[in-house]
Protein backbone atom coordinates (compact mmCIF):
# COMPACT_ATOMS: atom_id res chain seq x y z
CA UNK A 1 0.00 0.00 0.00
CA UNK A 2 1.24 3.47 -0.92
CA UNK A 3 0.46 6.24 1.58
CA UNK A 4 2.00 9.70 1.23
CA UNK A 5 3.12 12.04 4.06
CA UNK A 6 -0.39 13.55 4.21
CA UNK A 7 -2.15 10.20 4.71
CA UNK A 8 -3.45 10.09 1.14
CA UNK A 9 -3.63 6.61 -0.42
CA UNK A 10 -2.05 6.52 -3.87
CA UNK A 11 -4.19 4.15 -5.94
CA UNK A 12 -4.10 5.74 -9.40
CA UNK A 13 -1.18 5.73 -11.84
CA UNK A 14 -1.14 7.74 -15.04
CA UNK A 15 1.35 6.29 -17.53
CA UNK A 16 2.60 8.36 -20.46
CA UNK A 17 3.76 5.87 -23.08
CA UNK A 18 5.06 8.53 -25.49
CA UNK A 19 5.57 12.30 -25.60
CA UNK A 20 4.73 12.29 -29.32
CA UNK A 21 1.36 13.32 -30.69
CA UNK A 22 -0.25 13.62 -34.11
CA UNK A 23 -1.83 16.95 -33.01
CA UNK A 24 -0.15 20.17 -31.86
CA UNK A 25 -2.80 21.70 -29.60
CA UNK A 26 -2.07 25.36 -28.94
CA UNK A 27 -2.37 25.14 -25.12
CA UNK A 28 -0.26 21.98 -24.90
CA UNK A 29 2.79 22.42 -27.09
CA UNK A 30 4.46 24.59 -29.69
CA UNK A 31 3.91 23.78 -33.35
CA UNK A 32 7.51 22.74 -33.91
CA UNK A 33 8.15 20.50 -30.93
CA UNK A 34 11.37 18.65 -30.19
CA UNK A 35 10.50 15.18 -28.97
CA UNK A 36 12.59 12.68 -27.07
CA UNK A 37 14.87 10.40 -29.08
CA UNK A 38 13.09 7.05 -29.32
CA UNK A 39 16.11 5.35 -27.77
CA UNK A 40 15.37 7.12 -24.47
CA UNK A 41 11.91 5.62 -24.13
CA UNK A 42 11.26 2.62 -21.95
CA UNK A 43 10.27 -0.45 -23.92
CA UNK A 44 6.66 -1.59 -23.69
CA UNK A 45 7.89 -4.58 -21.67
CA UNK A 46 9.60 -2.23 -19.21
CA UNK A 47 6.46 -0.10 -18.89
CA UNK A 48 4.47 -3.28 -18.26
CA UNK A 49 6.88 -4.31 -15.52
CA UNK A 50 6.73 -0.89 -13.83
CA UNK A 51 2.93 -0.93 -13.92
CA UNK A 52 3.03 -4.39 -12.34
CA UNK A 53 5.20 -3.08 -9.51
CA UNK A 54 2.71 -0.29 -8.79
CA UNK A 55 -0.17 -2.77 -8.84
CA UNK A 56 1.71 -4.93 -6.33
CA UNK A 57 1.84 -1.84 -4.10
CA UNK A 58 -1.92 -1.27 -4.24
CA UNK A 59 -2.52 0.84 -7.34
CA UNK A 60 -5.87 -0.28 -8.77
CA UNK A 61 -6.41 2.18 -11.61
CA UNK A 62 -4.18 2.72 -14.64
CA UNK A 63 -4.68 5.45 -17.21
CA UNK A 64 -2.57 5.22 -20.34
CA UNK A 65 -1.79 8.62 -21.84
CA UNK A 66 0.74 10.43 -23.97
CA UNK A 67 1.28 12.54 -26.02
CA UNK A 68 -1.20 10.50 -27.98
CA UNK A 69 -0.84 6.95 -26.62
CA UNK A 70 -2.29 5.21 -29.65
CA UNK A 71 0.47 6.47 -31.96
CA UNK A 72 3.10 4.47 -30.04
CA UNK A 73 4.17 1.55 -32.23
CA UNK A 74 2.90 -1.77 -30.87
CA UNK A 75 0.91 -0.11 -28.07
CA UNK A 76 -1.82 -2.75 -28.08
CA UNK A 77 0.65 -5.36 -26.83
CA UNK A 78 0.87 -3.30 -23.62
CA UNK A 79 -2.91 -3.15 -23.28
CA UNK A 80 -3.19 -6.91 -23.84
CA UNK A 81 -0.52 -7.58 -21.23
CA UNK A 82 -1.98 -5.21 -18.63
CA UNK A 83 -5.37 -6.83 -19.11
CA UNK A 84 -4.15 -9.80 -17.07
CA UNK A 85 -4.35 -7.67 -13.93
CA UNK A 86 -8.04 -7.03 -14.63
CA UNK A 87 -8.62 -10.76 -14.87
CA UNK A 88 -7.01 -11.41 -11.47
CA UNK A 89 -8.93 -8.52 -9.88
CA UNK A 90 -5.73 -6.75 -8.79
CA UNK A 91 -6.59 -3.92 -11.17
CA UNK A 92 -10.05 -2.36 -11.08
CA UNK A 93 -9.75 -0.24 -14.18
CA UNK A 94 -7.56 0.09 -17.25
CA UNK A 95 -8.39 3.16 -19.29
CA UNK A 96 -6.84 5.81 -21.52
CA UNK A 97 -7.02 9.42 -22.61
CA UNK A 98 -6.83 9.94 -26.37
CA UNK A 99 -7.43 12.62 -28.99
CA UNK A 100 -9.63 10.15 -30.85
CA UNK A 101 -7.64 10.09 -34.08
CA UNK A 102 -6.81 6.37 -33.86
CA UNK A 103 -10.05 5.03 -32.35
CA UNK A 104 -11.51 3.72 -35.62
CA UNK A 105 -8.51 1.41 -35.78
CA UNK A 106 -8.27 0.36 -32.13
CA UNK A 107 -11.69 0.68 -30.41
CA UNK A 108 -12.72 -2.97 -30.70
CA UNK A 109 -9.30 -4.24 -29.64
CA UNK A 110 -9.32 -1.95 -26.60
CA UNK A 111 -12.60 -3.54 -25.51
CA UNK A 112 -11.06 -6.98 -26.00
CA UNK A 113 -8.25 -5.94 -23.63
CA UNK A 114 -10.72 -5.06 -20.88
CA UNK A 115 -10.97 -1.30 -21.40
CA UNK A 116 -14.52 -0.18 -20.63
CA UNK A 117 -14.37 3.62 -20.73
CA UNK A 118 -12.14 6.23 -22.29
CA UNK A 119 -11.62 9.99 -22.22
CA UNK A 120 -11.50 11.79 -25.56
CA UNK A 121 -9.99 15.27 -25.69
CA UNK A 122 -12.19 17.48 -27.86
CA UNK A 123 -12.25 21.27 -27.55
CA UNK A 124 -14.62 22.33 -30.33
CA UNK A 125 -17.46 21.05 -32.51
CA UNK A 126 -16.67 23.74 -35.09
CA UNK A 127 -14.33 22.22 -37.68
CA UNK A 128 -12.45 25.44 -38.36
CA UNK A 129 -11.89 26.08 -34.66
CA UNK A 130 -10.93 22.45 -34.16
CA UNK A 131 -8.19 22.80 -36.77
CA UNK A 132 -7.07 26.13 -35.29
CA UNK A 133 -6.76 24.56 -31.82
CA UNK A 134 -5.16 21.25 -32.83
CA UNK A 135 -3.20 22.61 -35.83
CA UNK A 136 -2.79 19.13 -37.34
CA UNK A 137 -6.05 17.45 -36.31
CA UNK A 138 -8.61 15.93 -38.71
CA UNK A 139 -12.09 16.70 -37.35
CA UNK A 140 -13.90 14.04 -39.37
CA UNK A 141 -11.47 11.38 -38.24
CA UNK A 142 -12.04 12.22 -34.59
CA UNK A 143 -15.82 12.21 -34.98
CA UNK A 144 -15.64 8.82 -36.71
CA UNK A 145 -13.36 7.57 -33.94
CA UNK A 146 -15.83 8.60 -31.24
CA UNK A 147 -18.64 6.79 -33.05
CA UNK A 148 -16.44 3.71 -33.48
CA UNK A 149 -15.71 3.71 -29.75
CA UNK A 150 -19.40 3.99 -28.86
CA UNK A 151 -20.30 1.24 -31.35
CA UNK A 152 -17.65 -1.02 -29.79
CA UNK A 153 -19.28 -0.56 -26.38
CA UNK A 154 -16.83 1.88 -24.84
CA UNK A 155 -18.22 4.48 -22.49
CA UNK A 156 -16.88 7.83 -23.80
CA UNK A 157 -16.29 10.94 -21.73
CA UNK A 158 -15.38 14.16 -23.53
CA UNK A 159 -12.65 16.35 -22.02
CA UNK A 160 -12.77 20.00 -23.10
CA UNK A 161 -10.17 22.62 -22.21
CA UNK A 162 -11.99 25.92 -21.75
CA UNK A 163 -10.31 28.63 -23.84
CA UNK A 164 -11.33 32.27 -23.63
CA UNK A 165 -12.14 33.77 -27.01
CA UNK A 166 -11.95 30.37 -28.68
CA UNK A 167 -14.56 27.87 -27.50
CA UNK A 168 -16.30 29.89 -24.79
CA UNK A 169 -19.25 30.47 -27.15
CA UNK A 170 -19.64 26.70 -27.63
CA UNK A 171 -20.18 25.71 -23.99
CA UNK A 172 -23.93 25.10 -24.26
CA UNK A 173 -23.57 23.43 -27.65
CA UNK A 174 -20.99 20.99 -26.25
CA UNK A 175 -23.23 20.19 -23.29
CA UNK A 176 -26.23 19.52 -25.55
CA UNK A 177 -24.21 17.39 -27.99
CA UNK A 178 -22.82 15.22 -25.19
CA UNK A 179 -26.32 14.85 -23.75
CA UNK A 180 -27.66 13.69 -27.11
CA UNK A 181 -24.85 11.12 -27.38
CA UNK A 182 -25.20 9.98 -23.73
CA UNK A 183 -21.61 10.98 -23.00
CA UNK A 184 -20.31 12.64 -19.86
CA UNK A 185 -18.45 15.93 -20.35
CA UNK A 186 -15.67 17.44 -18.29
CA UNK A 187 -14.35 20.98 -18.66
CA UNK A 188 -10.71 21.66 -17.76
CA UNK A 189 -8.87 24.88 -16.99
CA UNK A 190 -5.77 25.40 -19.11
CA UNK A 191 -2.60 24.71 -17.12
CA UNK A 192 0.69 26.67 -17.10
CA UNK A 193 2.94 23.82 -18.24
CA UNK A 194 5.75 24.22 -20.77
CA UNK A 195 6.50 26.99 -23.24
CA UNK A 196 3.89 27.49 -25.95
CA UNK A 197 3.61 29.88 -28.88
CA UNK A 198 0.78 32.01 -27.47
CA UNK A 199 -0.07 33.94 -24.30
CA UNK A 200 -1.75 31.71 -21.73
CA UNK A 201 -3.18 34.66 -19.84
CA UNK A 202 -5.20 35.48 -22.97
CA UNK A 203 -6.49 31.88 -23.20
CA UNK A 204 -7.33 31.29 -19.55
CA UNK A 205 -11.04 30.92 -18.78
CA UNK A 206 -11.94 30.20 -15.14
CA UNK A 207 -14.47 27.38 -14.87
CA UNK A 208 -16.51 29.47 -12.44
CA UNK A 209 -17.56 31.39 -15.56
CA UNK A 210 -18.25 28.19 -17.51
CA UNK A 211 -20.37 26.83 -14.69
CA UNK A 212 -22.34 30.10 -14.50
CA UNK A 213 -22.95 29.92 -18.24
CA UNK A 214 -24.31 26.37 -18.02
CA UNK A 215 -26.48 27.35 -15.06
CA UNK A 216 -28.38 29.80 -17.29
CA UNK A 217 -29.86 26.89 -19.28
CA UNK A 218 -29.92 23.97 -16.82
CA UNK A 219 -30.42 23.29 -13.12
CA UNK A 220 -27.17 22.01 -11.62
CA UNK A 221 -27.48 19.43 -8.84
CA UNK A 222 -24.41 18.33 -6.88
CA UNK A 223 -23.26 14.80 -7.77
CA UNK A 224 -21.25 12.43 -5.59
CA UNK A 225 -20.01 10.63 -8.71
CA UNK A 226 -16.30 9.85 -8.48
CA UNK A 227 -14.47 8.93 -11.67
CA UNK A 228 -11.25 8.32 -9.74
CA UNK A 229 -9.59 11.56 -10.83
CA UNK A 230 -9.79 15.26 -9.95
CA UNK A 231 -13.13 16.13 -11.58
CA UNK A 232 -16.01 17.41 -9.45
CA UNK A 233 -19.39 16.64 -11.00
CA UNK A 234 -22.87 18.05 -11.24
CA UNK A 235 -25.98 16.44 -12.72
CA UNK A 236 -28.17 18.47 -15.05
CA UNK A 237 -31.65 18.01 -13.57
CA UNK A 238 -33.44 18.45 -16.90
CA UNK A 239 -31.43 15.80 -18.79
CA UNK A 240 -29.80 13.61 -16.13
CA UNK A 241 -26.38 13.96 -17.77
CA UNK A 242 -23.16 14.54 -15.82
CA UNK A 243 -20.84 17.49 -16.31
CA UNK A 244 -17.49 17.64 -14.52
CA UNK A 245 -15.08 20.46 -13.73
CA UNK A 246 -11.31 20.07 -13.33
CA UNK A 247 -10.06 23.25 -11.69
CA UNK A 248 -6.30 23.22 -11.05
CA UNK A 249 -6.32 27.02 -10.68
CA UNK A 250 -9.62 28.27 -9.25
CA UNK A 251 -10.15 25.37 -6.78
CA UNK A 252 -7.34 22.85 -6.73
CA UNK A 253 -7.98 19.21 -5.93
CA UNK A 254 -4.80 18.54 -3.98
CA UNK A 255 -6.43 17.57 -0.67
CA UNK A 256 -7.78 14.35 -2.20
CA UNK A 257 -4.96 13.65 -4.67
CA UNK A 258 -4.59 9.88 -5.08
CA UNK A 259 -2.39 9.79 -8.19
CA UNK A 260 1.13 9.98 -9.54
CA UNK A 261 2.46 10.21 -13.09
CA UNK A 262 5.01 8.02 -14.85
CA UNK A 263 6.69 9.30 -18.01
CA UNK A 264 7.74 7.23 -20.99
CA UNK A 265 11.38 7.46 -19.82
CA UNK A 266 10.65 6.04 -16.38
CA UNK A 267 10.55 9.31 -14.45
CA UNK A 268 7.93 9.43 -11.73
CA UNK A 269 6.34 12.80 -10.97
CA UNK A 270 4.57 12.84 -7.64
CA UNK A 271 2.69 16.08 -8.43
CA UNK A 272 1.50 17.53 -11.73
CA UNK A 273 2.53 21.04 -10.73
CA UNK A 274 5.90 20.38 -9.08
CA UNK A 275 9.30 19.44 -10.50
CA UNK A 276 10.26 16.92 -7.82
CA UNK A 277 10.64 13.51 -9.43
CA UNK A 278 12.17 10.05 -9.07
CA UNK A 279 14.11 8.01 -11.61
CA UNK A 280 12.66 4.49 -11.84
CA UNK A 281 14.52 3.53 -15.00
CA UNK A 282 17.86 2.98 -13.24
CA UNK A 283 16.57 0.54 -10.58
CA UNK A 284 14.35 -1.14 -13.19
CA UNK A 285 17.32 -1.90 -15.42
CA UNK A 286 19.72 -2.70 -12.59
CA UNK A 287 18.04 -6.00 -11.77
CA UNK A 288 15.40 -8.39 -13.03
CA UNK A 289 14.12 -8.49 -9.47
CA UNK A 290 11.55 -5.81 -8.61
CA UNK A 291 12.77 -5.17 -5.05
CA UNK A 292 14.84 -2.10 -6.00
CA UNK A 293 12.02 -0.66 -8.11
CA UNK A 294 9.50 -1.14 -5.31
CA UNK A 295 11.86 0.53 -2.84
CA UNK A 296 12.34 3.45 -5.24
CA UNK A 297 8.58 3.86 -5.65
CA UNK A 298 8.02 3.82 -1.90
CA UNK A 299 10.77 6.39 -1.38
CA UNK A 300 9.26 8.64 -4.04
CA UNK A 301 5.79 8.51 -2.49
CA UNK A 302 7.33 9.58 0.82
CA UNK A 303 8.20 12.85 -0.97
CA UNK A 304 4.79 13.51 -2.54
CA UNK A 305 4.05 17.20 -1.83
CA UNK A 306 0.86 18.54 -0.34
CA UNK A 307 -0.12 20.30 -3.54
CA UNK A 308 0.64 22.65 -6.41
CA UNK A 309 0.28 26.40 -6.90
CA UNK A 310 -0.75 27.30 -10.44
CA UNK A 311 -1.24 30.95 -11.36
CA UNK A 312 -2.13 32.40 -14.77
CA UNK A 313 -2.43 36.15 -15.15
CA UNK A 314 -0.62 38.97 -16.90
CA UNK A 315 2.03 39.02 -14.18
CA UNK A 316 2.59 35.25 -14.39
CA UNK A 317 2.88 34.43 -18.09
CA UNK A 318 5.76 31.99 -17.70
CA UNK A 319 4.88 28.31 -17.19
CA UNK A 320 4.78 27.02 -13.61
CA UNK A 321 6.85 24.01 -14.70
CA UNK A 322 9.10 23.71 -17.74
CA UNK A 323 7.80 20.34 -18.95
CA UNK A 324 4.91 20.26 -21.43
CA UNK A 325 1.64 18.48 -20.71
CA UNK A 326 2.62 15.87 -23.29
CA UNK A 327 5.40 14.64 -20.96
CA UNK A 328 2.99 13.41 -18.31
CA UNK A 329 -0.29 13.38 -20.22
CA UNK A 330 -1.79 16.19 -18.15
Q: Is residue 203 part of a domain?
A: yes
Is the separation of the CB atoms in 30 and 24 below 8 Å? Answer: yes
What tens digit of pLDDT does each residue of 209-219 get?
Answer: 999 999 999 99
Mean pLDDT to the nearest integer, 197-217: 84
- Among residues 275, 252, 254, the alpha carbon closest in space to that of 263 is found at 275
The CATH code of the domain that includes 281 is 3.20.20.70
With respect to residue 75, please indicate whether it lies within any of the assigned structural domains: yes
Q: Residue 1 domain-assigned?
A: no
Average pLDDT, the chain: 89
Total tally of structural domains belonging to the chain? 1
Among 189-203, 234-248, 298-312, top mean pLDDT goes to 234-248
Is position 3 within any domain? no
Q: Where are the alpha helices (DSSP H) in the chain?
A: 44-56, 75-88, 103-112, 127-134, 139-152, 171-180, 200-203, 207-215, 281-286, 291-301, 325-328
**Each residue's pLDDT tens digit, 143-194:** 999 999 999 999 999 999 999 999 999 999 999 999 999 999 999 988 764 4
pTM above 0.75, yes or no: yes
**CA dihedral defined by 326, 108, 148, 329, rounded to 10 degrees?**
-10
> What phi and psi values does residue 253 have, to the nearest 5 degrees?
-110, 25
133, 123 in Cβ contact below 8 A? yes
Residue 38 lies in a domain: yes
Is 7 within the bounds of a domain? Answer: no
**Residue 302: domain span:** 12-328
pLDDT per residue as tens digits for the range 274-294: 788 999 999 999 999 999 999
For the chain, the residue count is 330
Is residue 2 domain-resident? no
The answer to whether residue 192 sits within a structural domain is: yes
- Whether the CB-CB separation of 36 and 264 falls below 8 Å is answered with yes
37 membership: H or E segment, kind and range: none
Beta bridge partners of 95: 63
- pLDDT above 70 for 198: no
pLDDT at position 257 is: 87
**Residue 95: partners with Cβ closer than 8 Å, 6 or more residues away:** 61, 62, 63, 64, 115, 116, 117, 118, 119
What does the pLDDT look like over 71-111, one tens digit per residue? 999 999 999 999 999 999 999 999 999 999 999 999 999 99
Amino acid sequence: MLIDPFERHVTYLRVSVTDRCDFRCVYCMSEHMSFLPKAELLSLEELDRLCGAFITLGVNKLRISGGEPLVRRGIMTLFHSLGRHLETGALEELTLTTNGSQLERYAEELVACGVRRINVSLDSLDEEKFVAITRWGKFGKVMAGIEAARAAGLRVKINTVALKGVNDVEIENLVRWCGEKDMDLTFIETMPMGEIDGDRSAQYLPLTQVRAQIKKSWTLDHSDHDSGGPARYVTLRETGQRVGFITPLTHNFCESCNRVRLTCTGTLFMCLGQDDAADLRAPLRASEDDAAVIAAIQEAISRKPKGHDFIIDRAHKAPAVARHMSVTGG
